[in-house]
Structures are given as structure tokens and as C-alpha cells.
Structure 1
């Protein structure tokens, strides 16, 4: 398979940074909005949840799907591969875990709370299920942020690289 040249790699990196920014910025925005919800006013809570859904659907999802696609492009069309470097493999595993958390926990709880707000109205604000969903969702958004920060650190530090054997160390066993 033909590999990308230097110009292609630069554009790929630019697109990757922009998509990760969308993804991470969306998650951070979601947390900030989630922390600011005051359960005293139904309309305000409903509007806030609608905004969180919009951020999830139109920012986080675009960033996540785009980042996944760019990861495949990196794996196929560059020398990085998928499993050639342990740090790249760890990033893949963490990103998949993070995405599954987003789909099956964060989004599920967000949509469950939207449904409660729509069906129960202001009574949803005192519903223990609604409050539990909100709290658990917030905790998992923090976990997603932590995973993203760790992935960024891995991307910069590139740990677990094989150390190059120097001529000085070559004779020592």
C-alpha cells in the first residue's frame, strides 16, 4: 500500500488535531454545562439537556468518528501502523474504551434523562433515577476526560519505545 509523503503527513496531523480538539472540547463543554445545571427550574434544565444533546450529536460525535477514521488512515497509509509501536496500540485500546463509555454509558444516561424530562416534566427533577443518571453521567464524563488527557500524554511522550542500542552499550551484556 502506498504511504503518505511528508506533505500528506502534515495535513493528516492538522486534521487529526482539529478532530481531537472537537472531541475533547465537546466533552469538556458537556462537563461544564453538566456541572452548571441547577435542578430548581424545569425549563432551564430541559434547555440545558437539549444543548448537551446537541453538543454530543454535532461536536463530540463528529470528533470521535473523525478521529477514528484518521486513526485508520494513520495505521494504513503511514509507517506508524496499528501495532508496530506499543504506545500506538495503547492509544487505540484507550480510544475504543473511551468511545464505548461514551456510547453505552454517557449517551445512554443523557437520553434516559431527556426522556424523563419529556415524560415527567418538572417531577423528573426530584426523581431519584434522574438524579442518579445525572451523577453517574458526570462521573463518566470525567473518566473520559482523564482518558483523553492520558492519550494526549502518550502521544507526546511516546513511552514504551525500544531504546536504540548504542555502540557503547552493544558490548555490555
Structure 2
């Protein structure tokens, strides 16, 4: 497969940086909104905040996280960076896949459940232990995820670990008689 030229690589890198930035900015905004949710006593406001969080998750976080993963994969495949040549690329891959997986397995379902509960119960959701667990999970898990995305951005900029040293297989020096 031919590698990208400089202009193509820069465009792809721009989309990659933009998608990661959108993911981070939206996640940070969701934490601020979720924090506001901890002080809400009005049932309609409680549901509206949860519905807004769900909207941001479904239509901004999920697409931007997946686009970041896709463009990162294309950058590895179509440039000299490769998938396994640099430790910082490996760490970013592992961290991104873990973040998307945990968001899919835990954070998304917790947010969906909290939104459903607040839709049905309104202000009584605040005394529902399942709602309390779910919304705390969204707030704490979201803060952890946002910190991890910020760390990934830092790794992208700093590239703290260098190139992997791959030892070439030793050639046997057997002589034929």
C-alpha cells in the first residue's frame, strides 16, 4: 500500500486532532453538566439535563471517539509511523480502545438508565438507589475518561517514549562442507 504524501497526511492528521479535541471538549462539558445535575431538585430539569447528556454522548462523543480511532489507524497504516514502531503509538492505541470499550460497556448504559429513570420518576429519581449509582458512575467514570483522553492528547504532543528497538533475527553462520 502506498504511503500518503505530506498534504494528504496533514489533512488526515488534522481530522485526527480535531476528532480527539471534540471528544475531549465534549467530555469535559458533560462533566460540568453532570456536576450541575448533582444540585438539581426539579424533576423536569433533572430529566432535561440527563437527556442533554445522552444527546451529547450519542451524537458527539461516540462519533468523535470512533473517528479518532479510525483516523489514528489510517495514520498508522498509511504513514511511516506504523502500528508497532513507537511505544507512544502503542500506548495511544491501547488507551483509546479501552476508553471506547469502557464507554460502551459501562458509561453509555449508565447514562441511558439514568435518563430513563429520570424520565419516568422525575424528582423521585433522586431517591432511587439505581439512579444515584448510575449518575455517580457517569460523573466519576466520565471524569476518569476525560483525564485519560487528556493524557492521550499529551502523549500525542510529547511522544514521550521513543521508537521500539526491534532486534533483527540472528543469521546462522553454518558452513556447508
Would the TM-score normalized by the shorter structure come out above 0.5?
yes
Q: Structure 1, residues 24-49: CA drift from partner, whole Å, max 9, x if none? A: 11111110100011331000010011
In the alignment, which residue of structure 1 is the partner of 2:24?
A: 24
- What is the Cα-based RMSD across aligned positions, in Å? 1.6
Please give the alpha-carbon distance, in whole angstroms, between the structure 2 residues aligned to 1:50 and 1:151: 28
- Rg larger in structure: 2
Decide which moves more: 42-51 or 99-108: 99-108
Decide which moves more: 136-145 or 153-162: 153-162
In the alignment, which residue of structure 1 is the partner of 2:53?
A: 52
**Per-residue deviation at 1:162?**
4.4
Q: Structure 1, residues 120-158: CA drift from partner, whole Å, max 9, x if none? A: 333212112211211121111111011111111111111
In the alignment, which residue of structure 1 is the partner of 2:10?
A: 10
In the alignment, which residue of structure 2 is the partner of 1:112?
A: 113
How many residue pairs align between the two structures?
Answer: 164
Q: Is this contact kept in 1: 2:46–2:122, CA < 8 A?
A: no
In the alignment, which residue of structure 2 is the partner of 1:151?
A: 152
Please give the alpha-carbon distance, in whole angstroms, between the structure 2 residues aligned to 1:61 and 1:81: 25
Q: Structure 1, residues 51-102: CA drift from partner, whole Å, max 9, x if none? A: 1011111111121111111012112111111111111000000011111121
SS at match of 2:98: helix
Q: Which runs of 5+ in 2 are unaligned?
A: 165-177
Please give the alpha-carbon distance, in whole angstroms, between the structure 1 residues aligned to 2:30 and 2:122: 22
Please give the alpha-carbon distance, in whole angstroms, between the structure 2 residues aligned to 1:162 and 1:83: 9
**Per-residue deviation at 1:161?**
0.7
| Inter-CA distance 72–107: structure 2 relative to 1 (3 Å threshold) | same
The structure 1 segments of at least 4 consecutive aligned residues displaced by more than 2 Å after TM superposition are 118-122
Q: Which runs of 5+ in 1 are unaligned?
A: 164-173
Q: Is this contact kept in 2: 1:30–1:52, CA < 8 A?
A: yes
Q: Is this contact kept in 2: 1:19–1:64, CA < 8 A?
A: yes
Q: Is this contact kept in 2: 1:22–1:62, CA < 8 A?
A: no
TM-score (ref. length: structure 2): 0.87
